[in-house]
């Protein structure tokens, strides 16, 4: 049954691929991806099996997290990426932000869980999913998945249709409802990071796992700010620091039942 | 043929000027939106699609509804529809243009729209939606124009048009199926994640499109020399009745699945829309009104005495149109976004510029429809004389 | 000819509309601008050369910037090796503008003259601009 479906998918896609040569289309027909869609049920590990060398992931150690650190992380990220602040929560641009347990894990909400977990400031960010629905729906490949698992956003290409915002089950995507540059200028005493651009009005943005830093061999800004709380590393490498931590500690991931394979882990 | 739109009564011209005024107001509001950003609308990071996309969805349905006349006429040779079919096709033309406009005003970077063609992405449903909508527009222009032109000349329709007309039948089904897939394939949006999304869309489309047609035909019958065949209208009304019953039945099925399974995430959107959730009940009166008028509309259409009465028929089709419009043009989109992925509730309310732009697109649709109908009516009047 | 008055009036209006851009710009011909290379970073350079030679940069900087954009953002490659084999960080903000820190004299001069409005500055930041 599994094989049949895969064959069918391939056959159905061949004509489309032949005419368009789309690398994007190949991604959904890639056998490795089909395996990964089922890996939750079969205990496979895609990272180990199909062999990409890098699969970036983030660990958030909730035992070490405090309100102060959460605020510091947000502040550091907002500066690094020139994210303006809005009074209206519906206009907010959020790359990394804190949220309560109840809202972070609504589908597996356990009302009898310990009070300290309920009170923890969970840091939310883009999950850089292995099976990202936002990438599936984007009509122009403005959002795409890099071979290292990073879900990137091309602000030059985004047409602002916001289909990805509807598709993201984590609410991790923000739209530039107004001009961010104007907003930054209005903010009193706002420091601007002149090494990183702003986003134009009318495009969608989100956490980029600090691709501008990791491509230069640096750690993401949030990790650099609070290295005891945030751990960034390569999930594909079974000897990596984050894999060692994951083997030892109990971790949670958001909405696993949707099969998106989020790459952000919460250590509790 | 189009020159027939240039001769009309002062009422006709007055109506066109009135529509142009609305369009001008909408154009100003749209320029404002282009300069300031989509933040001038009531949308936000949680309810990230609003009336623009909701209206788009509804008018895809109205466009698809034309097929309910094409099938009897061309597959079953039901000749009573011969003179009416073109009006259905013209509604489809106007409706598809409205759909495209609603997309244009909704996107944040309309000047980059052609990226859709520059970077074609077959895994995105929007890619297919673009193809089917543009294709359906072309098909209806070809079919509508050629059949009417043949009528005007009193000759049979050119043979090459026939296959295009047959193609329009599956194509009409495809536009609304693909539009339903835009929503039905998203994880974590529980109201939309339903296998009967496409059937529901189609049933409501086959009720909404023909309802609009009947209302317009009744209006034409009153004010032009050409009188549409009442028996043909009765048959369209029967089609609407079936489609609307199926539509309400599908809605009931959604309720059963959500509430009998008792899965909270599946219940929340329906609770929000129809009963109110955590004190948020701004949509409840609308949704209940939609169900009520839908049921009344079906009742009017079921009772022959009411259906045969022009006022009864007009009311019945108006009710069906309103009911499907509220259900799909308001409730469906908002219910998909509320509750949010954090299970919080965010109320959406369109702003004044947003409503102005949406109204202007309605006016564009009405403007196109007026001109196309004017041409078609002139041809029909010429045929009797 | 039918309606000759109306036709001729229409032609005159058309001709006036068609010619108005030419009339508007007539006589306002200005000298070809010379973009300034006078920035502290460039002054310090021993060999005054961009990542590629001058002729190439003048003629192809637009395509070149697009390639850089796609290379860094979409292909994840942040390093460029030029024809001479030297390595450069691919970044408008952190490579180009580090030398060409005078957007007004370097970028805008020609762009204004040629009437082109590249959308770079919708997002990217003029390093010495008072406004974002």
Between residues A95 and C129, which one has the greater pLDDT? A95
Provide the pLDDT for residue A38.
Answer: 38
Determine the average pLDDT of the residues in B103-121. 94
Residues 208-247 of A with CB under 8 A from B: none
pLDDT score at A27: 40
Query: Would you say the C-alpha torsion B286, B288, B292, B297 has a positive or negative sign?
Result: positive
Judged by CB atoms closer than 8 Å, whether chains meet at A197 and C93 is answered as yes
ipTM over 0.95: no
Residue B184 has pLDDT above 90, yes or no: yes
- Percent of chain B scoring above 70 in pLDDT: 100
Q: What is the mean pLDDT of residues C62-83?
A: 92
User: How many Å apart are CA A268 and CA A60, to the nearest integer?
Assistant: 9
Residue C127 touches partner A, C-beta closer than 8 Å: yes
For A140-190, list the strands marked E by DSSP.
143-145, 151-153, 174-175
- Residue A203: what are its φ and ψ, rounded to 5°? -125, 160
Q: How far is CA A102 from CA A92, A98, A120, B142, in A?
A: 21, 12, 10, 56
Most C-contacting residue of A197, A204, A213, A214 (CB-CB within 10 A), to test interface: A197
Q: Token match 């007009």: residue? A: B314
Exposure string of B56-67, with b = 16+ CB inside 10 Å and e = fewer, is bbbbbbbbbbbb
Over residues A213-234, the pLDDT tens digits come to 999 999 999 999 999 999 999 9
Q: Do A141 and B37 touch (CB under 8 A)?
A: no
The alpha carbon of residue C101 is apart from the nearest alpha carbon of chain A, in Å, by: 11
- A233 beta partners: A57
Kindly identify which residue of chain B lies nearest to residue A171, measuring between CA atoms.
B341
CB within 8 Å of A256: residues ≥ 6 apart? A40, A262
State pLDDT tens for residues A14-66: 434 443 444 333 343 443 443 343 343 444 444 444 567 899 999 999 999 99
The answer on pLDDT for B99 being more than 90 is yes
Q: Which residues in chain A are contacts of B46 at CB distance < 8 A? A: 90, 171
pLDDT at res. A51: 65
Closest CB to A196 among C74, C93, C122: C93
CA distance B226 to chain A (A): 44
For residue A182, the chain C residue with the least C-alpha distance is C132
Closest approach of chain C CAs to the CA of A117, in angstroms? 38
| Averaged pLDDT for residues B32-54 | 95
**d(C-alpha C103, C-alpha C123), whole Å:** 14
Three-state DSSP at B34 gives helix
| Residue with token string 């990073």 | A150
Partners of residue A152 in chain C, C-beta under 8 Å: 73-74
Taking CA C19 as the corner, what is the angle to CA C15 and CA C23, rounded to the nearest 5 degrees?
Answer: 140
Sort out which chain A residues have CB atoms less than 8 A from B30's CB and list them. none
Do residue A148 and residue C94 have CB atoms under 8 angstroms apart?
no
Q: Can you tell me the distance from the alpha carbon of A246 to that of A235, in angstroms, rounded to the nearest whole number?
A: 10
Q: Which phi and psi (to 5°) does residue B202 adopt?
A: -65, -45
Q: What is the CATH number of domain A56-267?
A: 3.30.70.20
Shortest distance, CA A176 to any CA of chain C (angstroms): 12
DSSP 8-class letter at A150: -
Q: What is the DSSP letter of A141?
A: -
Candidates C76, C123, C131; nearest CB to A197: C123
Contact B126 A259 (CB under 8 A): no
């Amino acid at each position: 049954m599994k094989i049949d479906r895969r064959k069918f998918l391939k056959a159905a896609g061949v004509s489309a691929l032949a005419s368009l040569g789309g690398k994007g289309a190949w991604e959904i027909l890639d056998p490795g991806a089909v395996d990964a869609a089922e890996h939750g049920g079969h205990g496979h590990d895609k990272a180990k099996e199909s062999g990409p060398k890098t699969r970036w992931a983030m660990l958030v150690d909730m035992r070490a997290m405090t309100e102060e650190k959460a605020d510091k992380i947000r502040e550091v990220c907002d500066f690094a990426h020139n994210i303006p602040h809005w009074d209206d929560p519906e206009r907010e641009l959020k790359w990394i932000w804190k949220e309560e347990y109840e809202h972070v894990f609504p589908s597996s909400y356990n009302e009898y869980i310990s009070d300290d977990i309920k009170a923890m400031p969970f840091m939310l960010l883009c999950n850089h999913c292995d099976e990202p629905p936002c990438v599936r729906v984007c009509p122009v490949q403005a959002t795409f998945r890099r071979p290292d698992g990073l879900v990137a956003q091309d602000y030059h290409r985004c047409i602002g249709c916001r289909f990805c915002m509807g598709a993201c089950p984590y609410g991790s995507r923000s739209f530039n409802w107004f001009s961010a540059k104007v907003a930054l200028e209005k903010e009193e005493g706002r420091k601007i990071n002149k090494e990183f651009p702003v986003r134009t009005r009318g495009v969608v943005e989100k956490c980029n796992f600090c691709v501008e830093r990791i491509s230069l061999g640096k750690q993401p800004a949030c990790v650099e700010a609070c290295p005891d709380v945030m751990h960034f590393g390569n999930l594909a490498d079974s000897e990596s620091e984050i894999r060692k931590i994951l083997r030892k500690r109990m971790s949670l991931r958001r909405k696993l039942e949707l099969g998106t394979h989020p790459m952000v882990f919460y250590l509790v | 043929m189009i020159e027939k739109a240039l001769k009309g009564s002062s009422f006709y011209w007055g109506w066109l000027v009135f529509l142009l005024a609305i369009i001008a107001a909408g154009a100003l509001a749209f320029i404002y939106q282009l300069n300031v950003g989509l933040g001038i609308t009531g949308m936000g990071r949680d309810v990230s699609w609003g009336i623009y996309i909701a209206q788009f969805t509804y008018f895809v349905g109205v466009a698809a509804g034309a097929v309910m006349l094409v099938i009897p006429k061309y597959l079953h040779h039901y000749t009573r529809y011969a003179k009416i079919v073109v009006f259905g096709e013209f509604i489809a033309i106007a409706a598809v243009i409205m759909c495209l406009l609603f997309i244009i005003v909704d996107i944040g970077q309309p000047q980059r729209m052609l990226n859709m063609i520059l970077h074609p992405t077959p895994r995105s449903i929007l890619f297919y939606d673009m193809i089917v909508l543009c294709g359906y527009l072309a098909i209806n222009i070809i079919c509508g124009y050629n059949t009417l032109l043949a009528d005007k000349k009193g000759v049979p329709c050119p043979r090459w048009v026939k296959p295009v007309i047959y193609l329009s039948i599956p194509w009409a089904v495809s536009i609304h199926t693909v539009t339903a897939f835009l929503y039905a394939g998203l994880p974590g949006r529980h109201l939309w994640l339903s296998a009967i999304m496409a059937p529901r869309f189609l049933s409501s489309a086959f009720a909404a499109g023909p309802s609009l047609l009947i209302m317009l035909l009744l209006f034409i019958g009153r004010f032009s020399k050409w009188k549409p065949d009442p028996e043909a209208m009765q048959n369209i009304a029967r089609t609407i009745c079936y489609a609307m019953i199926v539509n309400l039945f599908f809605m009931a099925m959604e309720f059963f699945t959500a509430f009998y399974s008792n899965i909270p995430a599946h219940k929340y959107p329906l609770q929000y829309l129809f009963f109110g959730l955590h004190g948020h009940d701004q949509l409840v009166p609308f949704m209940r009104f939609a169900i009520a008028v839908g049921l009344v509309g079906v009742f009017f259409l079921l009772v022959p005495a009411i259906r045969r009465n022009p006022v009864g028929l007009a009311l019945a089709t108006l009710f069906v149109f309103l009911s499907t419009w509220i259900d799909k043009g308001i409730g469906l989109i908002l219910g998909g976004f509320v509750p949010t992925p954090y299970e919080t509730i965010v109320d959406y309310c369109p702003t004044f510029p947003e409503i102005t732009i949406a109204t202007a697109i309605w006016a564009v649709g009405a403007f196109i429809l007026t001109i196309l109908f004017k041409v078609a009516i002139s041809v029909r009047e010429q045929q009797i004389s | 000819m039918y309606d000759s008055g109306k036709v001729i009036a229409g032609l005159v209006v058309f001709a006036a509309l068609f010619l108005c851009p030419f009339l508007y710009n007539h006589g306002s011909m200005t000298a070809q601008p010379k973009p300034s290379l006078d920035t502290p970073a460039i002054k310090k350079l021993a060999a005054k050369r961009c990542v590629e030679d001058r002729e190439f940069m003048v003629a192809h900087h637009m395509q070149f910037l697009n390639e850089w954009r796609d290379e860094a953002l979409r292909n994840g490659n942040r390093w460029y090796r030029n024809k001479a084999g030297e390595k450069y960080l691919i970044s408008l903000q952190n490579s180009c503008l580090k030398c060409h820190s005078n957007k007004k004299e370097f970028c805008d001069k020609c762009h204004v003259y040629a009437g082109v409005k590249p959308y770079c500055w919708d997002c990217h930041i003029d390093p010495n601009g008072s406004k974002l």
